[in-house]
Chains A and B, each alone.
Chain A
Amino acid sequence: MRIAIVGIGKMGLLHAGIMNALDGVEVCAISDTSKYLSGFVKSLTGLPVYDNYLNMLDKEKPDAAVIATPVFLHVPMAKECAQRNIPFLMEKPLSVTSAEAVTLVADIQKRHLTTMVGYMMRYTETFPKAKAILASGVLGDLITFNATIYVSQLFKTGKGWRYNRKESGGGVVIGQATHLIDLLQWYFGPVAMVSAHTKNWYSQEVEDFAHSYFEFTSGLSGWLDSSWSVRHHRLLEMTINVHAENGNLLVTDDFVKLYLEKRTDGYAAGWTNFYKPDLFEGVAIDVGGPQYTRQDVSFIEAVRNRTKVQSDIANAYAVQKIVDAIYLSASKHGEPVHL
């Protein structure tokens, strides 16, 4: 299978490195507007490089594409892929606003095109395990949850597209908390209402802190706290703590801890802990984390078999609607926004 890479920043380099090493898959070309970056790739690999991705799609006719460009370019590029019936893996998030993606999502559904948006936390060791436990029903009725996503990243004014609202769509919510929003939606179903507050401190145009309250259609409610400007978080760290009738479930990037009041369906009363070493399975190649490999393999298999993936464009669109609601609510000092 021949893959074309659109954009070779950090994520484009990563996906290309993984896919190129998978059996039966090769990166056939790359495009980037920075001729300097693509010049490197050409001199190192001899691959064809393009500064215009449309020329690449038309000339190379790849079996699939990876879109790893700044957010404001996602939808126009995805539309061009869709028109050519080229399946694509797009980095998250889907778009600057959900409105921008409406026609794209409809077009892709009509064409039954395989798509994936890079919500790769679903491919870690711990978060899918928590999903399985939640789906098993051992916790009984779910009452409330609290979730956090933190990283020590920004302590001065940032440079580049991420801090320009027109190009990124926003700050820590759209850039990072969307990973958590995707998981919450995967775990708990559709969101009915959002109330949110945000704060800019280091950035002028985008939020560095956000606190959001959610009500799901299931009746479950809880909050999500997020920031990229808190200290002592060397790496991006996420936690979800669910409180329920029969106990609670705490999941992080590192472990899943289940506490049950009474023995249920094979899980003992008290604590049952799963650490990453309990859940780990090797991958064909690990470049920057096995979750990226599992994600890319899942995409490649779906393209081969013309099937859908869970984290497809429709799912990413639902995440985007929640992001819009968070920003709208925050602009009105936390007024509830119904979805």
Chain B
Amino acid sequence: MIDRIILGHNQFFGVNHLAAETGNQKDAYFSDISRILGLLQFCREQGVTALMMSTHERALFISEALQKDATLRDTNIYLLLPYVAKYVRQANEKGLMNIILDSLNGTSFQEKMSMFLRGGFGVISKDLEKILTAMIDFEVAPFRELNLRAIFLHDVLTDLALGWGVSQVLELFANHVQEKYRAIPAFCTKNMPKLMALLEKTNIKNPLIMASINKLGYQVNPSRSAFETCLKEKQLQLLAMSTLAAGYLKPREAYEYIFSLPKIDSVVVGLSTREHAVETFAEIRRHAEQA
């Protein structure tokens, strides 16, 4: 079972989809890790003991702090990887090829050279497996000691694989997460109905999916009605994100809609103040019970 309510991480890392400036202010506020721990402690008192975390630089410090904290150590962690903004900046800074080379840190120089010399069109799927698992291991390493419940593939990679129609990448990810980390493999996507159609052709059954869904249809592709139909017809567990449409909707109307849908197993919520946390948790629990 996954947690009903999962605390989101965006506010901790300056992500705000309504206004970058607000994001920057929160980023400055939460640069003091003790403020993050304080909010986590407060959420625990409210019965919420699950945290979504991307592999952002600051998350490394949160991870260390959690490991040292006797009460927060067993927090259920839902890890989202990789932190894509970092790789986009790196691709602009040094190009895609250098990123791949650097991601093979665990591979010996000779091995790397032989991979690249062999190059040509003879690259085999083993190389792909090696690069993908090296990327996952590199990203997961600082969080290894935490209580990892699920590991999500970031929507940019999920959706890129979806667009290209290369379901092998998704299967490789799922197998590695399951075998090496004993965590639930999961996918973040901006295209839930299309992703479900692709996953049906794989050995990934009843997948855990994180996707934006809200009354406004904001960031819901191709449309809210297509999303709702898919949710009714397909076998999946949904972790709903952007339920407040980037803070645009009030919790009451937002969760009334969310829990009118089937198969909503869990909601990830972004919180920055305690008052906001109390109101949001109460609305989620009220509507979830009614549903």
Chain A residue contacts of B194, Cβ below 8 A: 21, 285
Say whether A39 contacts B217, CB under 8 Å: no
Tell me the bound Cα distance from A253 to B93 in angstroms.
Answer: 22
State whether B221 touches A42 (Cβ < 8 A): no
For window 126-162 of B, CB contacts with A under 8 Å fall at 127-128, 156, 159-160, 162
B97 touches A285 (CB 8 A): no
Q: Are A153 and B93 in contact (CB under 8 A)?
A: yes
A97 at the interface (CB under 8 A from B): no
B254 to chain A minimum Cβ distance, whole angstroms, is 12
CB neighbours of A35 from chain B (8 A): 119-121
Is residue B125 contacting chain A, with contact meaning CB distance below 8 A?
yes
Determine the chain A residues whose CB is within 8 A of the CB of B121 once the complex forms.
Answer: 35, 38-39, 42, 49
Q: B91 is contacted by which of A10, A232, A235, A237 (Cβ under 8 Å)?
A: A10
State whether A43 touches B124 (Cβ < 8 A): yes
Nearest CB in chain B: distance from A18 CB, A: 6
The answer to whether A21 touches B163, judged by C-beta atoms less than 8 angstroms apart, is yes
In the complex, the answer to whether A39 meets B122 with C-beta atoms within 8 Å is yes
Contact between B160 and A287 (Cβ–Cβ < 8 Å)? yes
Contact of A276 with B218 in the complex, beta carbons under 8 Å:
yes
Q: Do residues B159 and A43 form an inter-chain contact, with CB atoms below 8 A?
A: no
Q: Render A150-181 as a binary contact track against B, CB cut-off 8 A, 1 for contact.
A: 01111000111110000000000000000000
Shortest Cβ gap from B228 to chain A (Å): 12
**Residue ID in chain B nearest A49 by CB atoms:** B121
Complex Cα distance, B124 from A36, in Å, reads: 10
B76 lies within 8 A of chain A by Cβ? no
Residues of B near A271 (CB, < 8 A) are: none
| Distance A49 CA – B191 CA, assembled complex (angstroms) | 28
**A16-50 toward B: CB 8 Å interface, digit per residue (1/0)?**
11101100000000000011111110111100010
Chain B contributes a number of interface residues (CB within 8 A of A) equal to 58
Distance (whole angstroms) from the CB of B208 to the closest CB of chain A: 20
A286 within 8 A of B: yes
Least Cβ–Cβ distance between B193 and chain A, in angstroms: 10
How distant is the Cα of A43 from the Cα of B115 in the complex, in angstroms?
14
Closest to A237 in B: B20
Among A282-306, those with CB < 8 Å from B are 282-288, 290
Partner of A287, one of B15, B159, B168: B159
How close is B29's CB to chain A, nearest CB, in angstroms?
Answer: 13
Interface residues of A, CB < 8 Å — how many?
Answer: 51
CB distance from A180 to the nearest CB of B (A): 15
**B114 interfacial by beta-carbon distance below 8 Å:** no
By a CB distance below 8 angstroms, the chain A residues around B165 are 20-21, 45
CA distance A159 to B160 in the complex (A): 25
Q: Which residues of A contact B94 (CB under 8 A)?
A: 158-160
* A270 → B minimal CB distance (Å): 19
Residue B1 is within 8 A (CB to CB) of chain A in the complex: no
CB contacts (< 8 Å) of A34 on chain B: these are: 97
- The reply to whether A160 and B95 contact each other, CB–CB distance below 8 Å, is yes
**Are B221 and A282 interface neighbours, CB within 8 A?**
yes
In the complex, the answer to whether A158 meets B93 with C-beta atoms within 8 Å is: yes
Residue among A13, A21, A160 making CB contact with B98, cutoff 8 Å: A160
Which residue in chain B gives the minimum CB-CB distance to A228?
B92
With A and B bound together, what is the CA distance between A251 and B27 in angstroms?
22
Which residues of B (93-113) have their CB < 8 Å from a CB of A?
A: 93-98, 100
Contact B222 A284 (CB under 8 A): yes
Q: Are B163 and A16 in contact (CB under 8 A)?
A: yes
Task: Determine whether the beta carbon of B160 is less than 8 Å from that of A13.
Answer: yes
Q: Determine the distance from Cα of A117 to Cα of B12 in the docked complex, in whole angstroms.
A: 37
B159 touching A17, Cβ below 8 Å: yes
Which residue of chain B lies nearest to A13 when distances are taken between CB atoms in the complex? B160
- Tell me if B159 and A44 are in contact (CB < 8 A): no
B219 at the interface (CB under 8 A from A): yes
16 A-B pairs within 8 Å (CB atoms) are namely: A13-B164, A36-B119, A39-B121, A40-B127, A45-B166, A151-B89, A153-B93, A159-B95, A160-B93, A232-B24, A253-B20, A276-B218, A282-B224, A285-B191, A286-B159, A287-B159
17 more A-B residue pairs beyond the given contacts A42-B121, A282-B220, with a C-beta to C-beta distance below 8 A: A10-B96, A13-B160, A17-B160, A21-B162, A36-B100, A44-B169, A151-B89, A154-B93, A159-B98, A160-B95, A161-B95, A234-B14, A254-B17, A255-B18, A255-B19, A277-B245, A285-B221
What is A's interface to B at a CB cutoff of 8 Å? 9-10, 13-14, 16-18, 20-21, 34-40, 42-45, 49, 151-154, 158-162, 232-235, 237, 252-255, 275-277, 280, 282-288, 290
Q: Shortest 10 CB-CB distances between A and B: which pairs?
A: A17-B163, A39-B123, A286-B190, A159-B94, A277-B218, A160-B95, A277-B248, A21-B163, A282-B221, A277-B245
